[in-house]
C-alpha cells in the first residue's frame, strides 16, 4: 500500500516539530515515520569554525538534496533507510546514521518541506505552519542559545543576515503549495482537521469527492 505522505513546512521556530509531534501522538507512533530535513544539512567539517559560522544555512543549497531525494524515494517505496544525523553545535554530519523503517504515514518536516516540486507531488497533504516573525525569532533565540551553543549576538546576526531574507525568498513562497495553512502555529482546531483527514484515509474510508465540485488545479 502506498504511504500517506504529509509535508509540514514553515519558518524556523514556527512550530513544525510541534505539529508533527501532535500528529504522531494523535495517530499513534507505530503508524508514522518522520523524515526530518534538518538531518540533510551538508557536512561542514572541511571548513574552520569561523568559516562555518558564516555559512548561509537558510539557502536551499545548504542541504544535500541528492541524498534527501534518494532516501525520500526509498521510504516512499517501502524501503528502510539510513538517516544521516546532524550536529548543530559543530555544523557537521555525525558518523552514525539511524535506521528508519517505512510506515503507513510519512511526515516530511523542515523549512523546505514544500520546496521540492517532485517531493511535493508525492504529498497527499501539504501543511504550512505560519507564525509571526517576532514570535519565531524569540523562540529561536531561546533554542539556539540553550541547545545549539550559540550566543545572543550570533543569533541576531544570523537572523538578520540570512534567516529573515531567505525566509522571504525561499520559505514563505512555498505557502502557495500548501493545502492547509495553520495561522499562529499549532492549534487544536487545525490539528483536529488534519487528524480527521488522516484517519479518513488510513482507515480505508477514503471519501471520493466529486471532481465537478472543484476548480481546476493550476
Ligand X SMILES: Nc1ccn([C@@H]2O[C@H](COP(=O)(O)O)[C@@H](O)[C@H]2O)c(=O)n1
Ligand Y SMILES: Nc1ncnc2c1ncn2[C@@H]1O[C@H](COP(=O)(O)OP(=O)(O)O)[C@@H](O)[C@H]1O
Output 173 or 183, the one with its CB closest to ligand Y.
183
Q: Pattern of binders to ligand X over 36-65, x per CB under 6 A?
A: --x--x---------------xx-------
When the beta carbons of 9 and 120 are compared against ligand Y, the nearer one is 9
> Could you say which of ligand Y, ligand X, none residue 57 binds, taking C-beta under 5 to 8 angstroms by partner kind?
ligand X
Q: How far from 217 is each of 67, 172, 179, CA to CA, in Å? A: 30, 20, 12
Q: How far is the CB of 100 from ligand X (least distance, A)?
A: 18
What is the bridge-based pairing of β-strands 92-100 and 81-87? antiparallel
**In the numeric block, which cell numbers belong to residue 158?**
544570523
Q: What are phi and psi of 124, to 5 degrees?
A: -80, -20
What residues between 68 and 127 interact with ligand Y by CB under 6 A? none
Nearest CA-CA partner of 217 in 173, 171, 179? 179
**Do residues 6 and 124 touch, judged by C-beta distance below 8 A?**
yes
Residue nearest ligand X by beta-carbon distance = 12
- Tell me, residue by residue from 12 to 41, as one string, x for binding to ligand X by CB under 6 A and - for no binding: xx------------------------x--x
| Rounded least distance, CB 97 to ligand X, Å | 18
Torsion, CA 194, CA 196, CA 202, CA 206, rounded to 10? -110
**What is the Cα–Cα distance from 13 to 197, expressed in whole angstroms?**
25
Q: What is the DSSP letter of 44?
A: -
Distance CA 66, CA 114 (A): 16
Residues 85-114 that bind ligand X (CB under 6 A): 88, 91, 111
Among residues 7, 16, 128, 178, the one that binds ligand Y under rule CB under 6 A: 16
Which of residues 13 and 84 has its CB atom nearest to ligand Y in the complex?
13
In the complex, the residues that contact ligand X under the rule CB under 6 A are 12-13, 38, 41, 57-58, 88, 91, 111, 163
Amino acid at each position: 500500500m502506498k504511504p500517506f505522505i504529509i509535508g509540514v513546512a514553515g519558518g524556523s521556530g514556527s512550530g513544525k516539530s510541534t505539529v508533527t509531534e501532535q500528529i504522531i501522538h494523535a495517530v499513534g507512533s507505530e503508524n508514522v515515520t518522520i523524515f526530518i530535513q534538518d538531518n540533510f544539512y551538508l557536512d561542514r567539517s572541511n571548513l574552520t569554525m569561523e568559516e562555518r559560522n558564516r555559512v548561509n544555512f537558510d539557502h536551499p543549497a545548504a542541504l544535500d538534496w541528492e541524498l534527501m531525494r534518494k532516501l525520500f524515494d526509498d521510504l516512499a517505496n517501502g524501503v528502510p533507510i539510513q538517516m544521516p544525523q546532524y550536529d548543530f553545535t559543530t555544523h557537521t554530519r555525525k558518523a552514525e546514521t539511524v535506521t528508519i523503517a517505512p510506515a503507513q504515514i510519512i511526515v516530511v518536516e523542515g523549512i523546505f518541506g514544500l520546496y521540492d516540486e517532485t517531493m511535493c507531488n508525492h504529498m497527499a497533504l501539504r501543511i504550512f505552519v505560519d507564525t509571526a516573525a517576532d514570535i519565531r525569532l524569540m523562540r529561536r533565540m531561546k533554542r539556539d542559545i540553550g541547545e545549539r551553543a550559540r550566543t545572543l549576538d550570533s543569533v541576531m546576526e544570523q537572523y538578520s543576515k540570512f534567516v529573515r531574507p531567505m525566509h522571504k525568498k525561499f520559505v514563505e513562497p512555498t505557502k502557495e503549495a500548501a493545502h492547509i495553512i495553520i495561522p499562529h502555529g499549532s492549534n487544536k482546531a487545525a490539528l483536529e482537521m488534519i487528524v480527521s483527514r488522516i484517519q479518513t484515509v488510513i482507515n480505508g474510508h477514503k471519501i471520493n469527492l466529486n471532481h465537478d465540485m472543484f476548480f481546476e488545479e493550476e
